[in-house]
């Protein structure tokens, strides 16, 4: 298959810093869309993968799955996109398309495993996929998203992961007016959870371990903010919440939040702590409560989320950086020194 050499930013080893690399993209096929990448968000999973903290990283790796840009070429059979349109690519670029999940717009749960935007087997060129820290990307049109020109383009990029990761469970558990919804943690995921739950009409209660984040939570749309380390503040919300979206990736007490749920309430985990989280059986049994998890959404739901955000003027709160600042951004990410998402201006990749 014909290929094209492009510049990217990645690493060849877990211990090595990211640097400029040359990678190959396939030539545009009949159903493909080629996108010039304008902005790419930095997700914490980029860091985990680059440093092989989840194991299984294939090197060299080019991270990035919060991609927005402009269509520069389309295949002969492409119907959904035209040259010049804005377009986005999220966490996956393909799936089996045959299993029940794929046929029901749940490609993220593909039985064969969806093809991730980076560090997945590349069925076209062999080897593995490379992500959005690069000049361009070629993706089948069925896994490309339409991006509104009504919103700040850089602020849209994190919606392709942080946005859909929080939108999908809020939608699945039918969050809306008349509900009291808890958001645990104010970071890349949590700040999007607050904005989306509020736009859906819920009464939003934010839980944080940091008193310094109270004002920020209110600015994001929280109706109430609770210091989760204060037993008295927590007790005031016992058995009061319909749903809790847990966005924390560090070790924390699940029981303390389960006990805030009403009967039939659900706590859904979208953060990804490395170690198991213990749960006391009676925290579930006595309230017929549920402890659940959720991944990203499918392509159709991701488009729905993008349209919802365009309608409600929702973008991520970001800090734009150049590609040469990525290594420093990773170190700041580890310290929590970001409100709330880094986005790379890919014009800086020369």
pLDDT digits 0-9 by tens, 21-60? 999 999 999 999 999 999 999 999 999 999 999 999 999 9
Asked whether 162 and 192 are in contact (CB, 8 A), the reply is yes
Per-residue confidence (pLDDT) for residue 215, from 0 to 100: 95
Q: How far apart are CA 324 and CA 344, in angstroms?
A: 9
The mean per-residue pLDDT over the stretch 254-273 comes to 96
Confidence of residue 119 (pLDDT cuts 50, 70, 90): very high
- Conformation bin of residue 348: beta by default, left when phi > 0, alpha when psi is -120 to 50: alpha
Per-residue confidence (pLDDT) for residue 211, from 0 to 100: 93
Per-residue confidence (pLDDT) for residue 12, from 0 to 100: 97
Per-residue confidence (pLDDT) for residue 257, from 0 to 100: 97
Per-residue confidence (pLDDT) for residue 43, from 0 to 100: 96
pLDDT digits 0-9 by tens, 162-217? 999 999 999 999 999 999 999 999 999 999 999 999 999 999 999 999 999 999 99
Per-residue confidence (pLDDT) for residue 55, from 0 to 100: 92
Asked if pLDDT for residue 274 goes beyond 90, the answer is no
Structure tokens at 242: 């319909």
Q: How far apart are CA 314 and CA 332, in angstroms?
A: 25
pLDDT digits 0-9 by tens, 7-26? 999 999 999 999 999 999 99
Buried/exposed code over 103-113 (b: 16+ C-beta within 10 A; e: otherwise): eeebbbbbeee
Structure tokens at 48: 């985990």
Q: CA dist 22 to 66, 70, 246, Å?
A: 20, 21, 39
Q: How far apart are CA 268 and CA 91, in angstroms?
A: 20
Structure tokens at 30: 């009949």
Q: Among 45, 60, 72, 78, which Cα is nearest to 10's?
A: 60
Per-residue confidence (pLDDT) for residue 315, from 0 to 100: 98
What the chain holds in terms of domains, given with CATH numbers, is 3-161+297-348 (3.90.180.10), 163-293 (3.40.50.720)
* pTM, full prediction: 0.96
Per-residue confidence (pLDDT) for residue 1, from 0 to 100: 83
Per-residue confidence (pLDDT) for residue 350, from 0 to 100: 80
């Amino acid at each position: 298959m014909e290929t094209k050499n492009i510049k990217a930013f990645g690493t060849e080893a877990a211990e090595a810093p990211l640097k400029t690399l040359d990678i190959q993209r396939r030539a545009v096929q009949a159903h493909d869309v080629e996108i010039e990448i304008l902005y790419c968000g930095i997700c914490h999973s980029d860091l985990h993968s680059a440093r092989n903290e989840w194991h299984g990283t294939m090197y060299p790796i080019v991270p990035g799955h919060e991609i927005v840009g402009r269509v520069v070429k389309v295949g002969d059979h492409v119907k959904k996109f035209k040259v010049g349109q804005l377009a986005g690519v999220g966490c996956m670029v393909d799936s089996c398309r045959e299993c029940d999940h794929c046929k029901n717009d749940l490609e993220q749960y593909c039985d064969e495993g969806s093809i991730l935007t980076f560090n997945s087997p590349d069925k076209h060129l062999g080897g593995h996929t490379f992500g959005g820290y690069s000049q361009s990307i070629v993706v089948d049109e069925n896994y490309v998203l339409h991006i509104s020109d009504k919103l700040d383009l850089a602020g849209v990029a994190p919606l392709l992961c942080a946005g859909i990761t929080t939108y999908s469970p809020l939608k699945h558990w039918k969050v809306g007016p008349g509900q009291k919804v808890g958001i645990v943690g104010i970071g890349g995921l949590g700040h999007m959870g607050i904005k989306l739950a509020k736009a859906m009409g819920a009464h939003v209660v934010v839980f944080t371990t940091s008193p310094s984040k109270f004002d920020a939570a209110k600015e994001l749309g929280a109706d109430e903010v609770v210091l989760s380390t204060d037993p008295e503040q927590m007790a005031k919300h016992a058995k009061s919440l319909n749903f809790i979206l847990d966005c924390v990736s560090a070790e924390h007490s699940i029981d303390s939040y389960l006990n805030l749920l009403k009967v039939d309430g659900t706590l859904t985990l979208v953060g990804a702590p490395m170690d198991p989280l213990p749960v006391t059986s009676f925290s579930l049994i006595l309230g017929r409560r549920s402890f659940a998890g959720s991944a990203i959404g499918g392509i159709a739901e991701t488009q729905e989320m993008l349209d919802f955000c365009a309608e409600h003027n929702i973008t991520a709160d970001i800090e734009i950086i150049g590609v040469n600042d990525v290594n420093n951004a990773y170190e700041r990410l580890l310290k929590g020194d970001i409100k709330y998402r880094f986005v790379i201006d890919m014009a800086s990749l020369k």
